[in-house]
């Protein structure tokens, strides 16, 4: 469960990957390196998104201390748009309050400031499930809805180190089905969502996100 809601002062760029020799781009997978996990219900044409796998690994390492204490960690993913493709170049880890199944971002004005200074799009977010499986909770879905309403390509990464079936997942809310369900839901906390009327699940794995080994990025840890 993650709640990201509001933008801080001391910014610390702690990682920027170097450009690799020989760029390699591949579709982000959930269950294997060369095949897409499942089919998308998306009827709209979504722009591709590129992200560095190293960024995900670095976030996991930065979250390790919390993970060992069974506390969630969350961060915002920001990207620039070039020739119809989003490139995730910035990970921002805000001040936050965490429990084993929740993470509340604090003082998000700092996050917005970094995005605005660099003219970046908020294309998604990443958080850990330190002792749970790799899935999107009802609270996660409401958090993600606010991203996907702004940017249809927005995605959510769940890092679940104790899930033996998959250690991470990259998800989005189905559109229009799941988005209509979330739009009409006013409940808070953990709760059940009704099935979309179009027969699709509320959320699914992304099919337009690619790993790009040549993509440079920076991380701001504001905690």
Local confidence pLDDT in tens for the 223 residues of the chain = 555 433 333 233 333 333 333 445 655 444 333 323 334 555 578 999 999 999 999 999 999 999 999 999 999 999 999 999 999 999 999 999 999 999 999 999 999 999 999 999 999 999 999 999 999 999 999 999 999 999 999 999 999 999 999 999 999 999 999 999 999 999 888 999 999 999 999 999 999 999 999 999 999 999 9
Q: What pLDDT is stored for residue 37 in this prediction?
A: 35
- Rounded to two decimals, the pTM is 0.82
Q: What pLDDT is stored for residue 19 in this prediction?
A: 35
Whole-angstrom distance, CA of residue 96 vs CA of residue 171: 22
Q: What pLDDT is stored for residue 200 in this prediction?
A: 95
Q: What pLDDT is stored for residue 202 in this prediction?
A: 97
Domain boundaries, the chain: 49-221
Count, in order, helices (H) and strands (E) of the chain: 5, 14
CA triplet 64, 113, 216: central angle to 5 degrees?
55
The CATH number corresponding to 49-221 among 3.40.140.10, 2.102.10.10, 3.50.30.40, 1.20.120.350 equals 3.40.140.10
Rg (CA), the chain: 16
Q: What is the CA 208 to chain-centroid distance, rounded?
A: 13
Q: What pLDDT is stored for residue 131 in this prediction?
A: 96
What b/e readout covers 16-52, taking b as 16+ CB neighbours within 10 angstroms? ebeeeeeeeeebbbbeeeeeebeebbbeeebebbbbb
């Amino acid at each position: 469960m993650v709640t990201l809601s509001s933008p801080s002062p001391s910014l610390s760029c702690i990682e920027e990957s170097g450009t690799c020799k020989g760029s390699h781009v591949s579709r982000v997978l959930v269950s294997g390196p060369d095949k897409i996990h499942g089919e998308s219900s998306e009827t709209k044409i979504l722009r591709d998104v590129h992200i560095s796998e190293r960024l995900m690994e670095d976030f996991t390492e930065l979250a390790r201390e919390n993970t060992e204490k069974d506390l969630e960690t969350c961060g915002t993913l920001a990207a620039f748009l070039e020739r119809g493709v989003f490139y995730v170049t910035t990970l921002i880890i805000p001040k936050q309050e965490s429990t084993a199944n929740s993470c509340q971002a604090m003082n998000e004005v700092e996050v917005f400031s970094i995005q605005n200074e660099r003219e970046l799009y908020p294309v998604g977010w990443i958080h850990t499930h330190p002792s749970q499986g790799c899935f999107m909770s009802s609270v996660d879905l409401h958090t993600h809805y606010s991203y996907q309403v702004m940017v249809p390509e927005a995605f959510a990464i769940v890092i679940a180190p104790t899930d033996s079936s998959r250690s991470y997942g990259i998800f989005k809310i189905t559109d229009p089905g799941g988005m209509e369900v979330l739009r009409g839901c006013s409940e808070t906390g953990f709760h059940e969502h009704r099935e979309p009327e179009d027969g699709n699940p509320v959320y699914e794995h992304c099919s337009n996100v690619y790993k790009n080994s040549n993509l440079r990025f920076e991380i701001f840890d504001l905690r």
